[in-house]
Amino acid sequence: MNKHFISALFFISCLVSSAQGSQPAMADDMRADGKIYVVIGVLLIIFISIIGFLVVLERRIKKMEDKIKSKN
């Protein structure tokens, strides 16, 4: 009786643990490897925004150059 009870408990705990193992996967890539890809994402965002700032500057300088050229 006791033996059966323990084996049943073992079986149930195996089921529970396997159920936990197959929990719904959510954005696993970003949570993999200690969420290091979030840090990479942050780096990319900063890089892209700085590039954006430089492009805006570049266009303003271009406009000014055209103005100076048309004056001369």
Which residues contact other proteins by CB under 8 A?
Answer: 27, 30-31, 33-36, 38-39, 41-43, 45-46, 49-50, 53, 57, 60-61, 64, 67-68, 71
CB nearer to other proteins: pick between 11 and 60: 60
Task: Kindly state the smallest distance separating residue 45's Cβ from other proteins, in Å.
Answer: 5
Q: State both tokens at 40.
A: 């990479």
Task: Kindly state the smallest distance separating residue 17's Cβ from other proteins, in Å.
Answer: 21
CB nearer to other proteins: pick between 12 and 57: 57
Tell me the three-class secondary structure of the chain, residue by residue. CHHHHHHHHHHHHHHHHHHHHCCCCCCHHHHCHHHHHHHHHHHHHHHHHHHHHHHHHHHHHHHHHHHHHHHC
